[in-house]
Amino acid sequence: MDRSNPSQSKSDKLPVEMVSWYDALDYCNKRSIQEGLKLYYNIIKNKKDFNNQSEYGNLKWTVTINSGSKGNRLPTEIEWEYAVSGGQMSKSYTYSGSNEVNEVAWYWTNSGDK
């Protein structure tokens, strides 16, 4: 599998950044192939998705899913909200792991970026 990492900050303990949603779907499919799983996403890179009206980015591949597939996929919105709330181990924090946003998040006002 292609091990390229476009991130500005690289470490085994850091998430990948500087990737598009399409890059993430493509990665899921590559992992599925590597693991011998049926692909979750059908990605047609040379067919523009005319339903994608986003002004951000010019990639607009056509993507459909194979329902029932056990292939790698991104979490749904509900799955993501459950995970960031702490899941079963949640202590009802406002943010994932704390009630203080500066303890658990790095964003433009606390990153030193002006």
Could you tell me the pLDDT band of residue 101, with boundaries at 50, 70 and 90?
confident
pTM beyond 0.75:
no
Is 31 in contact with 16 (CB distance < 8 Å)? no
Per-residue pLDDT tens digits for 58-89: 788 999 999 999 999 999 999 988 887 777 77
Could you tell me the pLDDT band of residue 51, with boundaries at 50, 70 and 90?
confident
Q: Is 98 helix (H, G, I), strand (E, B) or coil?
A: strand
Number of H helices, E strands in the chain: 3, 2
Q: How many CB atoms lie within 10 A of CB 73?
A: 19
Per-residue pLDDT tens digits for 13-23: 888 888 888 99
Question: What is the Cα–Cα distance from 70 to 67, expressed in whole angstroms?
Answer: 9
Beta-bridge partners for 63: 43
